[in-house]
Structure 1
Amino acid sequence: MAYFNNQKEPVENVETNVWSCVNDDCQGWMRENYSFEKEPTCPPICHSEMKKEVRVIPEMK
């Protein structure tokens, strides 16, 4: 939905459970509900282990 003068509707940030890569040289992460594995590895970058954490990111609708 667009507002007057082509301003876009603001996106709300929410706390979201994510998987975050444990490798200090890697910044890979993904939303928890995007993985079918119980404990995924970092697929796109380094294939290291990942840990659960909570981030404040834009809500997906």
Structure 2
Amino acid sequence: MYFSRKRLMVDLPEEMTSLWSCTNELCNGWMRDNFVFSVQPVCGQCNSLMEKGEKMLTIVANTSPNQTKR
């Protein structure tokens, strides 16, 4: 069998997205703000503090019913 990964013919829409980035210089961890469950998250890779920022990313909708931040 042959499986080919064809490139999408339509570009996915992008927008400026709020996100949290890891403050550790050796870590490149980040997460979208609408997928965070705490007010001040910690990095899932190195457990360092994270800072808020923005990045141009493809649009992803979070449909989780558990979206309250504590």
Flag whether TM exceeds 0.5 (same fold). yes
- AA partner of residue 34 (structure 2): N
Aligned positions of 1:36-55 closer than 5 A? 36-43=37-44, 45-55=45-55
Alpha-carbon distance, 1:16 to partner: 0.2
Q: Which residue of 2 aligns with 1:3?
A: none
RMSD: 1.5
- AA partner of residue 60 (structure 1): V
Alpha-carbon distance, 1:36 to partner: 1.1
**Greater fraction helix:** 1
Q: Which residue of 1 aligns with 2:20?
A: 19
Percent identity reads 33
Aligned length: 55
Tell whether 2:29 aligns with 1:32: no
Q: What is the TM-score when the length of structure 1 is the normalising length?
A: 0.81
